[in-house]
């Protein structure tokens, strides 16, 4: 990593530096890891021009040619899995083992999946008595992809693969906190022979690069994943030009545990949903609702398991909980822990900064924290914390569980734990969330719709939903005569 300390933008097939730079800090060590371009309107313009110029020929390539390139990208990342995993872990603070087992393999799958998806996609034909209608999908043009810091390559590949597959050209802006794997991805595109200008990468701040991209008149669509308040700004900025918009936003997801659950499995699943990636996944279950009759036993078991989690150096293979993304985010998470106590909550475990020795002594760590005794409507239990802090609440019966689960502004995901299959179905169907897992969490099939309701977003990604988003579906009606 040392020789790539100064990262660059990738525009029209070239790596380009900027005069102004930003520091990129390694969260586990609290030290500067690299410098990245602090781009502005000028760099965004250059990238959009490159993407616009490349669109004419890229949009005319065959689906097979595009699919072959996506497969080549997947192969190239796969052959450097360990390098990508290390970059991701050092940039985000997440355990190296998690990056190696989940983030990078899923990014590889995203490229392979969308290569297959376009190869096998079929389109509608609607015959009439005297005419035939058929659907055509055409690419949109230049699309802006704006991604957050928690799953950097995973989410960037989730947008990049379908956008390219459908024949669009791209200007991507990753979070300035996690620039490394996006830069490495640009190198991969260059190596596999993606034509110049088809994929462009502009580093910098959201308020500068992101804002300029969303407002750029030659950007036809914006696919954004990030916080709800930023999503509102993006929506407002995209609206005057009627840009196509996909917004994948925040969540405060309920984990609902019924007394008839498989107890051990539910404890393990709830733990995983709460603290994977330090709780910094939009799908994490941070509001745990447990049926009254097992509440004490379940809470005790969860607290016991949580207290044993290994927190520390992400590069240590035993580590289960790494560092939070930044000092500012660590401070925000700690403010919520303090708020939880002010609101009458009891810290059942965690609540403090663990003492880590050695290289990670200055890292941004917070021990996994469980808070009980809070009203389910209080701020701690209803605002997105996006860290290793969960609240746990009892419920009396199914109607109360449903009311609590559906309360609040978010509607991204939920998990439900019960051995009664009928209840699993009916409860899942009554939840107002875009995704529900029953007796599991984060099991992903790339064909299924992914996205939120209410303040968790607009639009769906995944499988044909992504192909639909990154294209215009058009109807062509041919008169057949008598």
Positions touching ligand NDP (CB under 6 A) are 146-150, 173, 175-177, 205-207, 210-211, 214, 225-227, 230, 233-234, 248-251, 282, 384, 386, 412, 452, 457
State which residue, 72 or 155, has the beta carbon closest to ligand NDP.
155
* Nearest alpha carbon to residue 323 among 359, 282, 348: 359
* Radius of gyration in angstroms for the set of CA atoms belonging to the chain, rounded to a whole number: 23
| Active-site annotation holder among 282, 284, 321, 349 | 282
State which residue, 118 or 177, has the beta carbon closest to ligand NDP.
177
> H-helix or E-strand containing 21?
strand 21-26
Q: What is the DSSP letter of 302?
A: H
State which residue, 48 or 261, has the beta carbon closest to ligand NDP.
48
Residue nearest ligand NDP by beta-carbon distance? 206
Shortest CB 133 distance to ligand NDP, Å: 34
Shortest CB 134 distance to ligand NDP, Å: 33
Rounded to 10 degrees, what is the CA torsion of 246, 160, 384, 86? 180
Shortest CB 315 distance to ligand NDP, Å: 23
Phi/psi region, residue 219 (left: phi>0; alpha: psi -120 to 50; beta: rest), is beta
State which residue, 288 or 349, has the beta carbon closest to ligand NDP.
288
What is the number of alpha carbons within 13 Å of residue 395 lying toward its C-beta? 22
List the structure tokens of 87: 């970059």
State which residue, 266 or 288, has the beta carbon closest to ligand NDP.
288
Shortest CB 401 distance to ligand NDP, Å: 23
Shortest CB 126 distance to ligand NDP, Å: 33
| Active-site annotation holder among 88, 248, 280, 384 | 248
Contact 243, 274 (CB under 8 A): no
Phi/psi region, residue 457 (left: phi>0; alpha: psi -120 to 50; beta: rest), is left
How far is Cα 33 from Cα 24, in angstroms, rounded to an integer?
Answer: 6
Shortest CB 452 distance to ligand NDP, Å: 6
Catalytic residue list contains 282: yes
Q: What are phi and psi of 354, to 5 degrees?
A: -70, 150
What is the number of alpha carbons within 13 Å of residue 242 lying toward its C-beta? 0
Q: Give one DSSP letter per residue of 326-366, joined into a string.
A: -HHHHHHHHHHHHHHHHTT-EEEE--SPPP--GGGTTS---
State which residue, 290 or 325, has the beta carbon closest to ligand NDP.
325
Give all strands (DSSP E) within 38-167, no chain letters: 125-127, 131-139, 142-146
Catalytic residues: 248, 282
């Amino acid at each position: 990593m040392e020789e790539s300390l100064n990262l660059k933008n990738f525009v029209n097939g070239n790596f380009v530096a900027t005069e102004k730079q930003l520091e990129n800090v390694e969260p586990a060590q609290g030290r500067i890891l690299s410098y990245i371009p602090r781009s502005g309107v000028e760099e965004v313009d250059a990238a959009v021009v490159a993407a616009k110029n490349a669109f004419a020929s890229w949009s005319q390539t065959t689906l097979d040619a595009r699919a072959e390139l996506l497969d080549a990208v997947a192969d190239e990342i796969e052959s450097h899995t360990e390098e990508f995993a290390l970059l991701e872990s050092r940039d985000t603070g997440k355990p190296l083992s998690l990056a190696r087992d989940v983030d990078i393999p899923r990014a590889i799958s995203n490229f392979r999946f969308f290569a297959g998806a376009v190869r096998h996609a079929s389109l509608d034909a609607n015959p009439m008595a005297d005419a035939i209608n058929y659907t055509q999908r055409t690419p949109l043009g230049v699309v802006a992809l704006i991604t957050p810091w928690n799953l950097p390559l995973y989410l960037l590949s989730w947008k990049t693969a379908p956008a390219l597959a459908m024949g669009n050209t791209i200007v991507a802006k990753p979070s300035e906190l996690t620039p490394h794997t996006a830069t490495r991805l640009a190198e991969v595109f260059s190596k596999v022979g993606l034509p110049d200008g088809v994929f462009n990468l502009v580093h910098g701040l959201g308020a500068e690069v992101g804002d300029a991209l969303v407002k750029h008149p030659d950007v036809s669509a914006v696919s954004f994943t990030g916080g709800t308040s930023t999503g509102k700004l993006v929506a407002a900025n995209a609206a005057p030009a009627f840009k196509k918009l996909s917004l994948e936003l925040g969540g405060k997801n309920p984990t609902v545990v019924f007394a008839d659950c498989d107890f051990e499995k539910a404890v393990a699943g709830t733990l995983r949903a709460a603290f994977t990636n330090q709780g910094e996944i939009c799908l994490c279950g941070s509001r745990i609702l447990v049926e009254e009759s097992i509440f004490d036993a379940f809470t005790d078991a969860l607290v016991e398991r949580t207290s044993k989690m290994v927190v520390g150096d992400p590069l240590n293979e035993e580590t289960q909980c790494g560092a939070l993304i930044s000092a500012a985010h660590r401070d925000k998470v700690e403010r919520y822990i303090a708020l939880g106590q002010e609101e009458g909550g009891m810290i059942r475990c965690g609540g403090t900064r663990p003492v880590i020795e050695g290289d990670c002594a200055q890292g941004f760590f917070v021990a996994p924290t469980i808070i009980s005794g809070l009203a389910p409507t209080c701020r701690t239990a209803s605002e997105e914390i996006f860290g290793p802090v969960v609240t746990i609440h009892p419920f009396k019966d199914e109607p109360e569980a449903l009311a609590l689960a559906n309360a609040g502004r978010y509607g991204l995901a939920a998990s439900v734990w019960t051995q009664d299959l009928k209840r699993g179905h009916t409860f899942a169907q009554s939840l107002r969330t875009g995704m529900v897992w029953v007796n599991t969490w984060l099991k992903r099939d790339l064909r299924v719709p992914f996205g939120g309701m209410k303040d968790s977003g607009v639009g769906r990604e995944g499988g044909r939903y992504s192909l639909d988003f990154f294209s215009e579906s058009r109807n062509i009606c041919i008169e057949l005569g008598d």
